[in-house]
Structure 1
Amino acid sequence: MTAEATTASRRRLVQVYALYLLAALVFFGPVLFMLWSAFRRNVDITGSIFTIATPLTLENFTNLFDRFVFYYYIRNSFIVAGGSTLLGLALGVPAAYVIVRRGAASIGFLMLLARMAPGVLFVLPLFILSVQVGAPSNNGLNFALLIAAHLIITLPLCIWLLVPFFEDIPLSLEEAAMLDGCTVWQRFRHVVVPLALPGLSVAVTLSFVFSWNYFLFALALANADTLPLPVIAFNFIGQGSSDYGGLMAASTLISLPALLLTVFAQRWLVRGLTGGAVK
């Protein structure tokens, strides 16, 4: 390799790493600022962002747990996000299988339309339904209504994430199981679902994260006892003044479960995303 070619190769390598660094700053810069601000005083956050030598404190987190029963709202978020994720899988996995094996693409398209519609389109009908069934005064009904509302997010996501995986499973495997005497349910349970586990891991992770972070339905439908974490973070922003330190601390704690789930499922998540993209 000539000196000119070596220089050009090194220049391209530097450019590639520079682009990687720029992308990292764009994507991780706000997250790092959130983490840093969670340990700073409110007066330091509203000052210059270039003032690095500011004292760090745990006051934002202690005030957060003193002001709210934070564990209670964490439980609420797990109930809503976990319930909508599990129910979305219970309904979405068979639905995706039927769409692939029966050619019912129109059903999948209708579910996709529901996901593409803005969430505010569903708020008023769900609120009227909530009042009619007495959900605002009944915590069990309120949780059920919130989980059903979040199905608008999780169910189409599960279906359209799993369709490519079911399409990649050869029909001959099911035919062989049928010759061995397996019923439709046995073929689905023992043959199809185990082969689609990477897709299931993707569906679980993304459905949980989307439902965990969703704000609109909880703001309109939850009562004081069923409020999830994103609505609590909204309380730190006021018309006259805002507690940015408390907001950053709350945002950090809200992001932590979804981040831990993503890190834990990273291996299956990458395998599932790449597996569903390759035919």
Structure 2
Amino acid sequence: MEHTGTTATPDVPSIPLTDSVSIPQVGFGVFQISASTTQQAVEQALEIGYRHIDTAAAYYNEREVGDALKATGMTGKVFVTSKLRNCDQGYDAARVALDTTLNNLGLDHLDLYLIHWPFPAVDQYVETWKALLEIQQEGTIRAGGVSNFLPEHLQRLIDETGKTPAINQLEVHPSFSQTETLKFCKEHGIVVEAYSPLGHGSDMKAEPIQQAAEAHDVTPAQVVLRWHVQSGRIVIPKSTHAERMRQNLDVFSFELTDEEMQSISALHDPANRVGADPATFVQSQSWANQKSRGNIPD
């Protein structure tokens, strides 16, 4: 399969990751979408206009994502991201894991491959990063990056390899905006991609977001996603409802004022993390581990 290149839909801009690789700023995430419904959801997202799909080995639905790409004739025409499980970290293991991911997706190379967590308990993320750098040079991945890496993890990668990740996928939403990590990424030219971009349900009810939604005649979710993209971040909202998929993609027809942006940013509370703390996260992400924690739906 020859890669034909990826482009965003007309209303969705792309952000450069490297000199030759750009990523559509709004993508479709498939975390906690069951394997039995992933293909249908991805096919619907592609029909609506998404050209960026974000999955991971630890989601256990890569094969269904690949089936959707094949069924819609979009293999090689969509920007695809996947991530390396914690239990697959290490130089040699990472190479084997990527082969499995490519086989699952039906691809001969990947647009973006991320180390899912630093997983400091096993202390293999530097060796894993070295493997990704070599794989990128070989052309099997177009860009390499990380997910859930804090400044201390990022600095160590830079210090020990001389290479900076192109992207850091982080939990970022109005009530938890990780200001110090965002600052570090900006200073080092690392693009930030926000997962759980809508945060808690309470984020949507916050007064600044409600006021902005009314002022611009859009939904609160659209306001939050606009806050992200106007800040230069990539977002990967998840939904299995067609209308919400459309709304999540339609965030480029209005612009928040500086005051609205500042009011939303001011909602940050360091106690409002939705997911795990990267400094202490010790889960293996094996199938049994993910199932036991409810990350793989029935």
Name the TM-score, length of structure 1 as normaliser: 0.23
Bigger relative CO (Cα 8 Å, ≥ 6 apart): 1
Name the TM-score, length of structure 2 as normaliser: 0.22
**Which structure is higher in helix share?**
1
